[in-house]
Amino acid sequence: MRERTTIFQGTDWVMVILYIVLVTIGWLNIYAAVYDESSPGITNITQEYGKQMIFILVALGIAVAIMIVEPNFYPAFSMFIYAFMLLALVAVYFLGTEIKGSRSWFRFGDFGLQPAEFAKFATALALAKFLSALNIRMTDMTTRLWSAFIFALPLGIILLQNETGTALVYLGFILVMYREGLSGNLLLLAFFVSLLAVLSLLYDPLSLLYACVVILLACYLVIRKTKKNLLKVSASLLVCGAIVFGVPFAFSKLHDYQQKRINVWLGKDRSSESKKDEYYNVHQSLVAIGSGGFTGKGYLEGTQTKYNYVPEQSTDFIFCTVGEEWGYIGTVILLSLYLALILRIIFVAERQRSTFSRIYGYCVASILFIHLTINIGMTIGFMPVIGIPLPFLSYGGSSMLSFTILLFIFIKLDSHRLEIFR
């Protein structure tokens, strides 16, 4: 065990530098997205880039604070933080201000706080705490159920708030469970179920069912023909049937705009009557990114960005600004930075002696990964339009703060990894 000489000793500077680079890129692109030639001042607080500057400074302050506080604080108080966030999630449902059809914000004057954003790291802490306890094994059914419950609860509450996107992020914790022992087959099962669900929205259910029968029959023919296997195959068939008929039914129960977004994503709906239309959004996003070419149009020279063709271009669609102004070079570099960060987190998580720290690290990586996949996927047409921010880049105080907290707790925990023997 080494003596600590400075608060920053042992800090993994790779993660810190990647964080700073991403935040800077984010600020530059928000500036470009909001840029108005008539009032170009950097420190204009009424503009989003001015506000983002404040959020960044506050976030940096909190990052420093996290580095100062005792690392044991986090495992110790994880459950309390988790409970507090759950309360906040419920409270906002009653006390929050309604924006765009959902009550998910506490507003303080010009600024707002979104509990759903902060609940992410709280859930990560809780899950890490739970799974790092002695005698907890993923092979036990109770363990699995409780783990799922830990993130399913906030997921459910957030779904009730109509923030489907944010709720989806919590499904990323399944990856964490996988790392901690959840059967890989479950992951594969989850993949095939999702695939079938999507196909059931594209094709006629009966034909799909016939296809499933054929495939399952073929599987049965090649494996050992035991009674157990027959049961498994039959059960699978039942599940297929449930999905193939159930998903379209559930789909029809969705809100109109949600149905439209999925239809647009699947390519079934190309009509666009107004600028607020789902198809228009995706189309404009593709146009902006696509028109960037190889080297992009240049900083502050993106026509689609400058002239507001892409909606939400400083928040959910911030990636479009990158694509248009920095071209393929820019998007690939950005993707690489995110990849580097996530892989670094995984690497750092693996070198942890503390189970808590490792699990928490994987939570951070999973959350970032899911955000990335959905947000960028949406801008390039690979995902339906689901409104979630791009970590460190999208404009927003709650997301900037919560991602900073999420990451820096891990950086702090990691910096103490040689001191912990737990």
Partner 1 sequence: MSINNPYSDRRFVIAIIVIAVIVIYAVRLFYIQIINEEYKMTATNQAFRYMPDYPTRGNVFDRNGKRLVYNQSAFDLMVTPGQVKGIDTLAFCKVLNMDIVTFREKMKKAIYHGKRRPSIFEKELSVEQSSSIQEKLYMFPGFYFQQRTLRKYPMSVAAHLLGYVGEVPKEICDTSSYYIMGDDIGISGIEKSYEKELRGIRGTRIIMVDNLGREKGRYMNGALDTAAVAGKDMYTTLDLDMQIYAEELLKNKIGSIVAIEPSTGEILVFASSPTYDPNLLVGSVRSENFGKLGKDSLKPLYNRALSAPYPPGSTFKMLGALIGQQEKVITPASRYPCSFSVGSKSIHCHPHPSPADLSMSIQYSCNPYYCRLFINIVNKYSPTEKGYLNWKKHANSFGFGTKLGTDLAHELRGNIPSVEYYDRYHGKGRWKASSVYSLGIGQGEVGITPLQMANYCSIIANRGFYYTPHIAKKIEGGEVAAKYKEKKYTTVDPEHFAVVVDAMYLVVESGTGRGGKLPGIAYCGKTGTAQNPHGDDHSIYIAFAPKDNPKIALAVYIENGGFGAEWGVPITSLMVEKYLTGKISRPDVEKQMKEGVVLPKKVK
Name the residues that contact partner 1, by CB under 8 A.
Answer: 175, 178-181, 184, 275, 283, 286-294, 303-304, 306-309, 323-324, 327-328, 331-332, 335-336, 338-339, 342-343, 346, 349-350, 352-353, 355, 358, 362, 365, 369, 372-373, 376-377, 380-382
Q: In what order do the strands lie in the sheet with 97-99?
A: 97-99, 102-108, 111-113
The span from the CA of 278 to the CA of 30, in Å, is: 22
Backbone angles phi, psi at 106, to 5 degrees: -95, 125
Note whether 315 and 389 are within 8 A (CB): yes
Packing angle, helices 205-222 and 227-252, rounded to 10:
160
The span from the CA of 312 to the CA of 395, in Å, is: 10
- Please state the closest distance from residue 104 (CB atom) to partner 1, in A: 27
- Please state the closest distance from residue 371 (CB atom) to partner 1, in A: 12
The span from the CA of 181 to the CA of 190, in Å, is: 16
CA 280 from centroid of its chain's CA atoms: 24
User: 239 vs 420, which CB is nearer to partner 1?
Assistant: 420
- Please state the closest distance from residue 35 (CB atom) to partner 1, in A: 12
CA distances from 14 to 18, 148, 226, 251, 344 (A): 6, 32, 53, 44, 8
The span from the CA of 214 to the CA of 85, in Å, is: 48
Neighbours of 249 (CB within 10 A): 10
- Please state the closest distance from residue 187 (CB atom) to partner 1, in A: 8
User: 58 vs 342, which CB is nearer to partner 1?
Assistant: 342
- Please state the closest distance from residue 273 (CB atom) to partner 1, in A: 13
- Please state the closest distance from residue 89 (CB atom) to partner 1, in A: 28
User: 108 vs 307, which CB is nearer to partner 1?
Assistant: 307
Backbone angles phi, psi at 420, to 5 degrees: -95, 140
Note whether 408 and 73 are within 8 A (CB): no
Give the side-chain half-sphere CA count within 13 A for 294.
0
- Please state the closest distance from residue 291 (CB atom) to partner 1, in A: 4
Match 């935040």 to its residue by tokens.
Answer: 23
Residue 305 CB contacts under 8 Å (≥ 6 apart), including other chains: 32, 33, 35, 288, 313, 320, 321, 324, 325
User: 114 vs 304, which CB is nearer to partner 1?
Assistant: 304
Note whether 404 and 385 are within 8 A (CB): no
- Please state the closest distance from residue 388 (CB atom) to partner 1, in A: 15
User: 69 vs 339, which CB is nearer to partner 1?
Assistant: 339
User: 33 vs 53, which CB is nearer to partner 1?
Assistant: 33
User: 179 vs 412, which CB is nearer to partner 1?
Assistant: 179
User: 137 vs 255, which CB is nearer to partner 1?
Assistant: 137
- Please state the closest distance from residue 191 (CB atom) to partner 1, in A: 10
Question: Residue 49 has which token pair?
Answer: 């880039």
- Please state the closest distance from residue 304 (CB atom) to partner 1, in A: 5
User: 172 vs 389, which CB is nearer to partner 1?
Assistant: 172
User: 365 vs 409, which CB is nearer to partner 1?
Assistant: 365
The span from the CA of 215 to the CA of 237, in Å, is: 10
